[in-house]
A and B are shown apart, each in its own frame.
Chain A
């Protein structure tokens, strides 16, 4: 008999390496090879060296009460969050008359509620448009006053977070339709319209927002008929809108390019007109494709509103300067103030980017099979 037929036991296989749990995760992700291990050790050492100091400065040695003396003794070793406790109304609401500050708070809460509702899928119904009209009207009545026994408050006293949110919201809402029209115009077959759209987009995208705001602030009064210059807030809003529209238009154009030509041809076969084709066939698909990019634009607009401080409008960044520069006692704690408003901006922008992920999932439904 051949050797092969003799029973030869094979050694048992080794037990599988555990791949779940903390230790295997650390083995794979922290100590994969010598380089990875070295990095882990270096980062851990740096954290041990730096973190306690930062935590002590920010929390344990920090002064949280609006206590100037305490802040001065803690100078250098601990943060003075008391500056925020002391100045938060000025930082968040700017120069709005102190006794009337419930109005911007209420108006902004209303506007944010409206935004929240508009962002929820369940409420994407036809009644949303009239709701917008009503809330915007109420917003301006509350902010401006002069109606229903409210004291009038001129727009140059508006400031802080309400102004930031208002500029961003209106900038986005007004820029979007312009952007869609310009994007369609740039792809249109009519040469005159196409070239006008190209010139507009390239001109605006080639210059910084500041120069547009300077234009709104210095040149707009010259452009208007004598003695009829609109209010500076309105001028700046127009500037932001036109600027944002150019960027949005390019994003939308990207989406339009991604819609297969066959869709347009099929619509033409059905006998749809140009506007019907765009409205019912092309735009829904194009906009769904560019949702993430459009949300990026929205976030950019929100952040860009901080620039209006350069043309002397006191939105969040400006009102912080206003609140602290005028008070020599609290001026040394500007850094804490910056951290505070940075946290506000971060919260809004981060929420928007998370929302963008969610909505991306929602609109991709049409493309999932």
Chain B
């Protein structure tokens, strides 16, 4: 019986898988390379033909346009890079507040789908189906219309005890008069934060050693709270608040959120929370029912079962998809351009129209979002690894 010879190792024929793989890769790289070169050379030709200047030099030229709201001082004479910075900060602000609110609301709605009360279940289901199936852009436009059109004018605002106002001018609320007392309170809290952290770690270790239950939540919170109270007293215990009051054209005093900000925020939060609710529901549903029964036979109450048994196990299912929802929310905040909230896209398109630097402005938009997306994903992956159930 003839034995087959072993396959030769380096076989540069079409029958060798390694060789074919190499050929495919070289071909693919060549196609992509040629395509990129084609696009780039066309772009260079076009820009030369139309006399478009290129380069990021425009960033240090005066911007020449005003921005409706800004977290840092800015005026039209400032340089373009500062305008972009204002835009980035505005994007981050709406994304951060949006993520916090959408997580809270979405979690409540997701848990609500398991309520024993049929009305709560039905309302949560209806909410999810309604807000998920309407484009987020449309929702932003509707909320913006609501704030600018339906709400009463600033002369006759809705108010709650003369402290909170809601009108076409936006949402105004009182803030403390910032001073030494507030600064010391923040400093006190900051000093006590590591102390609380160490106490918490010590309490957990003590619990593991002696099985004596020590509070790992309330006591650390109390420590931080006490720190800030001490700082506040040391600063003279200031109690002055800055209340808003309707003026002739705008709200005076207090702090305000503009209709643009509220429109974007509300649209993003209500839309994303519907998705987060589904993520939370799927996560909870993935916990084996035996776990609930076991918790029941240990005598845990329903709330305890949720907090101590179900959620910790559901979290590992929840975190990866919720991360994509955070990224979606951040990216969807770019729709703010449709209602004139000065986020980075809106600033970049204004700068684009002023300077004609299309390539550069769109590159900046993309870089900003790539950076935020990648860093959010990085953080959430770290948190995911931390909260994943450690097996073997």
Known: A226-B49, A307-B335. A208 touches B369 (CB 8 A): yes
Please indicate the chain A residues that have their CB under 8 angstroms from the CB of B120 in the complex: 39, 43
Please indicate the chain B residues that have their CB under 8 angstroms from the CB of A206 in the complex: 366, 369-370, 373-374
Find the B residue at minimum CB distance from A250. B324
Contact A222 B25, beta carbon cutoff 8 Å: no
Does B21 sit at the interface, judged by CB under 8 A? Answer: yes
Please indicate the chain B residues that have their CB under 8 angstroms from the CB of A189 in the complex: 21
Does A119 sit at the interface, judged by CB under 8 A? Answer: no
B119-130 vs A: 1/0 string, CB under 8 Å? Answer: 110010000011
Does B349 sit at the interface, judged by CB under 8 A? Answer: yes
Does A187 sit at the interface, judged by CB under 8 A? Answer: no
A212-237 vs B: 1/0 string, CB under 8 Å? Answer: 00110011011111100000000000
CA distance A224 to B359 in the complex (A): 14
CA distance A349 to B275 in the complex (A): 14
Please indicate the chain A residues that have their CB under 8 angstroms from the CB of B145 in the complex: 334-335, 338
The answer, among B28, B39, B345, for a CB contact under 8 Å with A192, is: B28
Pair count A-B, CB < 8 A:
151
Contact A222 B137, beta carbon cutoff 8 Å: no
Does B286 sit at the interface, judged by CB under 8 A? Answer: no
Known: A214-B362, A353-B133. A208 touches B331 (CB 8 A): yes
A98-130 vs B: 1/0 string, CB under 8 Å? Answer: 000000000000000000000000000000000
The answer, among A205, A208, A222, A334, for a CB contact under 8 Å with B46, is: A222
CA distance A224 to B117 in the complex (A): 60
Count of interface residues, chain B, beta-carbon cutoff 8 Å? 55
Looking at B45, B118, B133, B337, the one whose CB has the most chain A CB atoms below 10 A away is B133
Does B187 sit at the interface, judged by CB under 8 A? Answer: no
Please indicate the chain A residues that have their CB under 8 angstroms from the CB of B332 in the complex: 208
Does B257 sit at the interface, judged by CB under 8 A? Answer: no
Instruction: State the Cβ distance, A234 to closest chain B Cβ, in Å.
Output: 16
A246-266 vs B: 1/0 string, CB under 8 Å? Answer: 000000000000000000000
Stretch at the interface among A137-145, A280-288, A340-348: A340-348
Please indicate the chain A residues that have their CB under 8 angstroms from the CB of B42 in the complex: 222-226
The answer, among A30, A39, A205, A342, for a CB contact under 8 Å with B134, is: A342
Does B149 sit at the interface, judged by CB under 8 A? Answer: yes
Please indicate the chain B residues that have their CB under 8 angstroms from the CB of A32 in the complex: 116-117
Please indicate the chain A residues that have their CB under 8 angstroms from the CB of B370 in the complex: 203, 206-207
Instruction: State the Cβ distance, B172 to closest chain A Cβ, in Å.
Output: 24
Known: A196-B32, A223-B39, A226-B46. A307 touches B118 (CB 8 A): no
Contact B362 A211, beta carbon cutoff 8 Å: yes
A309-333 vs B: 1/0 string, CB under 8 Å? Answer: 1100000010000000000000010
Contact B123 A219, beta carbon cutoff 8 Å: no
Contact B373 A205, beta carbon cutoff 8 Å: yes
CA distance A317 to B369 in the complex (A): 25
Contact A309 B137, beta carbon cutoff 8 Å: yes
Does B72 sit at the interface, judged by CB under 8 A? Answer: no
CA distance A6 to B361 in the complex (A): 98
Does A147 sit at the interface, judged by CB under 8 A? Answer: no
What are the nearest 5 A-B pairs in CB distance? A349-B133, A29-B118, A208-B331, A192-B25, A208-B334
Q: A: which residues have CB within 8 A of B?
A: 28-30, 32-33, 36, 39-40, 43-44, 189-193, 196, 203, 205-211, 214-215, 218-219, 221-226, 299, 303-304, 306-307, 309-310, 317, 332, 334-335, 338, 341-342, 345-346, 349-350, 353
Q: A189-B21, A218-B362, A342-B134 provided; 11 other pairs, C-beta below 8 A?
A: A29-B116, A36-B115, A43-B123, A207-B369, A208-B332, A211-B365, A218-B358, A219-B43, A222-B42, A222-B46, A306-B137
Q: B: which residues have CB within 8 A of A?
A: 21, 24-26, 28-29, 32, 39, 42-43, 45-47, 49, 115-120, 123, 129-130, 132-138, 141-142, 145-146, 149-150, 327, 331-332, 334-335, 337-338, 345, 349, 352, 358-359, 362, 365-366, 369-370, 373-374
21 A–B contacts, CB within 8 A, in A order: A32-B116, A33-B116, A39-B115, A40-B117, A40-B119, A206-B373, A207-B369, A208-B332, A208-B335, A208-B345, A214-B349, A215-B362, A224-B46, A225-B42, A225-B45, A306-B138, A334-B145, A335-B149, A341-B138, A345-B135, A345-B138
